Chains A and B, each alone.
Chain A
Amino acid sequence: MSGRPRQNGPAQAKALQFKLVLLGESAVGKSSLVLRFVKGQFHEYQETTIGAAFLTQTVTVDGVTVKFEIWDTAGQERYHSLAPMYYRGAQAAIIVYDITNRDTFERAKSWVKELDRQARKDIVIALAGNKFDLSNKRMVEVEEGSAYAQEHNLIFMETSAKTGDNVSNVFVEIAKMLPKVEPKPNNNGQTVRIDDNQEAQNGGGPGCCSKN
């Protein structure tokens, strides 16, 4: 089975499309991160995701527009068997844990291992320690997350879907790592712009420690 050819040939110089999947234990904030990134909103009570939800959002990095096709998955263990359907062929993944809950960090590690084995070899993975705003209840130290990420060659950030800290940065960092058909050689124009997103000014908030 092969997909219909994408309509973004070099002639059109249209947005590059990338499939991105969110993985992680239930209630770590996957849906909230997506909602923040796509709509700039946060809901204290975010509806439980059943199966998976689909959203899109574009970012412009160094003059190249990248469209993310985002699959936000269900977190409960029994939905695990559905996950491969969503990460199959994905060019990027965000694995999310909740910094106030150790078990979710362990679960995140097992996702990293699973993607290493089963996803595309060139998949770009980001590890996000979410709920940074609750860092007074932290159970996983920043150093621990970042060391694990470094060891496994992952982008790493602590994020808060609630305040917006680092949320768009995760996507931007991923976008930077993705292969561009027409690479723009000028690296000086660091004009990272996030479309339709109130959080654009939000820069590297506290707890940001992107690798590279």
Chain B
Amino acid sequence: MKLEKEEYGFDWPPSFDKDTHWRYTHKRKLTDLERVAEWDALNGNYERSEALKKLVRKGVPRKYRVDVWLSISSAGQNMLENKGLYNNLTARCAQKETTDNMKDTSGECVIDVIRRDLLRTFPENPSFKEPVMLNNMQDILSAFCLHRPEIGYCQGLNFIVGTLLLATQSKDGELLPEECFWLLVALVDILPDYHSNKMTCLNNDCLVLNDLIRKTVPQTHSVVSLFGLPLQMFVTKWFVCLFVDVLPFHTVLHVWDTLFYEGNKILFRVAVYEFVLHKKELKKLQDPSGLAMFFRNLFWDNKAWDDFEYMQKVFKKTRKLKRKYIEHKRITKASETEV
């Protein structure tokens, strides 16, 4: 029997049989009830505090997510202070005079580039066949190009916007494009300059991660480096898409909860934890091909399906990782590559 899709419209992993599936959904319902009760008690007060940080680390319930993301990031504030800007941007994107000047680095009109990727975003998810979903995606990405021309459109942002739209969609299916636009701006501001033209910050953070792995999970690092392949070949997508399409969808949202609250260090914590979590498998690998296959199949790995447990472990296993260290590494790596 083929199981229906999970709550956001994605396929269950093929390895999930009926039992695992039932156990998983059952457990999730219980954790969700618990989480919701805790968030109910806050009464919409999301002021920063140690207590709130702890709650966010346990994951924000689906029904509170939009409000929480808007208030713990700069998005809500920005949206208030720039009333009408999003509508103004999308209106301009509908004018030929504007779009004629919006070029991708290849010289092609960027709207065309965006349009081509719309149906190439989560094609297995039925929501991404719906015209209203696709139109909103195009609007947000185009508006973003106009708002942040120094970044423009970077492939991968389509997955980020798709994730935002799905995550913030109300129970009756209503989409919140303006909120998603500001959340996208907030996310890009939280990140180093990953998505802009030369992607130098992205390359740099991959190198930082490489050093982090060498320091914290040396056994796995020696395996990877034995094959002589740069780690970057495998982890680019982790940073560009913020783990979308790498981890299960609801786990990605949980990562983003903490990303919005705590900043981009969380990306390193999750990335390092992936190596900790898969230490055994990694050490067994025989050749570069096995290594590449390993990274490719991570998505179907069941270990990250229980997002609650997964994130608790991320924080526990990587608690020694300090923001200072990452910032220091970023500077040294950047100066090394400059030479």
Contacts and interface: CB of A to CB of B under 8 A. Distances in A.
A and B bind: yes
A46 to B, nearest CB: 6
A17 B198 contact: no
Contact of A77 (B105, B159, B229): B105
B95 interface: no
B104 A7 contact: no
Give chain B's interface residue range (CB within 8 Å of chain A).
35 or more
Main secondary structure of the interface of B (DSSP, over half): loop
B8 interface: no
A56 B290 CA distance: 10
B120 A74 contact: no
A17 B225 CA distance: 20
B108 to A, nearest CB: 7
A1 B123 CA distance: 39
A13 interface: no
B286 interface: yes
B64 to A, nearest CB: 29
Contact of A78 (B123, B197, B225, B229): B197
A26 B199 CA distance: 17
Interface string B95-130: 000000000111110000100110111110000000
A189 interface: no
Interface residues of A, number: 37
Contacts of B288: 3, 69
B227 interface: yes
A52 B289 contact: no
B292 interface: yes
A77 B228 contact: no
B289 A2 contact: no
Interface stretch (A81-89, A135-143, A168-176): A81-89
Contact of A45 (B119, B154, B240, B292): B119
Interface of A: 1-4, 6-7, 17, 25-27, 43, 45-56, 69, 71, 74-79, 81-82, 85-86, 103, 107
6 contacts: A1-B228, A43-B123, A50-B156, A69-B292, A85-B232, A86-B233
